[in-house]
């Protein structure tokens, strides 16, 4: 597979993921959140939570911003990479973000669960910035255009600062960074593999 592989005809998997996530939000109950949210390592943790937590959300705003980002960044990435590579990337970022969150909660002793697709979305944001670095994005606050590469770098730095200082308590900042880190590792691995394949 190469970075220029085209999608097969049909509904993009980014839109399917979006639809599944919206449906999951509409049917989620307290019991479902308890069972499928990502709990710290302990009696409430189960391996499947490393995936299921990414389909739960804490409110309409949380859901909207994640799904808007999935639509905005996921579709062009899937068109460029193809469905298989896109899906692998999305779930690697989601699971990687979850693993980082487990590490953080183990170190801090936190006992709260984590929900949301933000870790996977941050991975998509990184990929978009690397693939389309000069694409202009329009910020909401302040309303001004900015190149994707500077947006990614700035957002990553802010997320790190928020995580280190405890700003915006209740947000899993390090999980967001984990999604970016795992996404970067996978992109670099694919780039090296594709380069070696072309040399053969």
Give residues with Cβ within 8 angstroms of 114, minimum separation 6: 37, 38, 53, 98, 101, 105, 172, 175
pLDDT at 62: 95
Residue 29 CB-density burial (10 A; 0-12 exposed, 13-18 middle, 19+ buried):
exposed
Query: How is residue 188 written in tokens?
Result: 């670099």
Q: Dihedral of the CA atoms 20, 69, 88, 44 (nearest 10)?
A: -60
pLDDT at 123: 97
Single pTM value for the model = 0.90
pLDDT in tens, the chain (200 residues): 334 344 456 899 999 999 999 999 999 998 999 999 999 999 999 999 999 999 999 999 999 999 999 999 999 999 999 999 999 999 999 999 999 999 999 999 988 999 999 999 999 999 999 999 999 987 766 778 899 999 999 989 999 998 888 777 778 999 999 999 999 999 999 998 876 666 66
- CA distance readout (Å), 7 to 16, 80, 89, 154: 14, 8, 15, 31
Cα Rg of the chain (Å, integer): 17
Could you tell me the CATH number of the domain that includes residue 90? 1.20.1540.10
In a domain, 14, yes or no: no
Q: What angle (nearest 5°) sits at the alpha carbon of residue 158, between those of residues 69 and 86?
A: 30
In a domain, 24, yes or no: no
In a domain, 151, yes or no: yes
Q: How far apart are the first and last CA of the chain?
A: 14
Taking each helix axis from N to C end, the angle separating 118-131 and 60-69, rounded to the nearest 10 degrees, works out to 30
pLDDT at 164: 85
In a domain, 170, yes or no: yes
Q: How many domains does the chain have?
A: 1
**How far, in Å, CA of 136 to CA of 23, rounded?**
31
Domain boundaries, position 193: 31-199
**Could you count the other beta carbons within 10 Å of the beta carbon of residue 21?**
21
């Amino acid at each position: 597979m190469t970075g220029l592989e085209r999608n097969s005809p049909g509904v993009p998997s980014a839109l399917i993921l979006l639809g599944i996530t919206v449906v999951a939000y509409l049917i989620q109950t307290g019991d479902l959140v308890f069972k499928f949210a990502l709990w710290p390592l302990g009696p409430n943790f189960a391996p499947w939570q490393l995936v299921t937590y990414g389909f739960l959300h804490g409110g309409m705003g949380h859901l909207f911003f994640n799904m808007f980002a999935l639509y905005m960044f996921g579709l062009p990435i899937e068109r460029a990479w193809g469905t298989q590579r896109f899906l692998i990337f999305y779930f690697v970022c989601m699971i990687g973000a979850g693993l980082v969150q487990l590490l953080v909660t183990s170190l801090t002793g936190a006992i709260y669960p984590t929900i949301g697709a933000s870790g996977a979305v941050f991975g998509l944001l990184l990929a978009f910035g690397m693939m389309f670095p000069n694409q202009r994005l329009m910020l909401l606050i302040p309303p001004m255009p900015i190149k994707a590469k500077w947006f990614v770098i700035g957002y990553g730095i802010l997320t790190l600062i928020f995580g280190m200082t405890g700003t915006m308590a209740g947000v899993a900042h390090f999980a967001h960074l984990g999604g970016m880190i795992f996404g970067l590792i996978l992109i670099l691995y694919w780039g090296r593999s594709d380069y070696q394949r072309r040399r053969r």
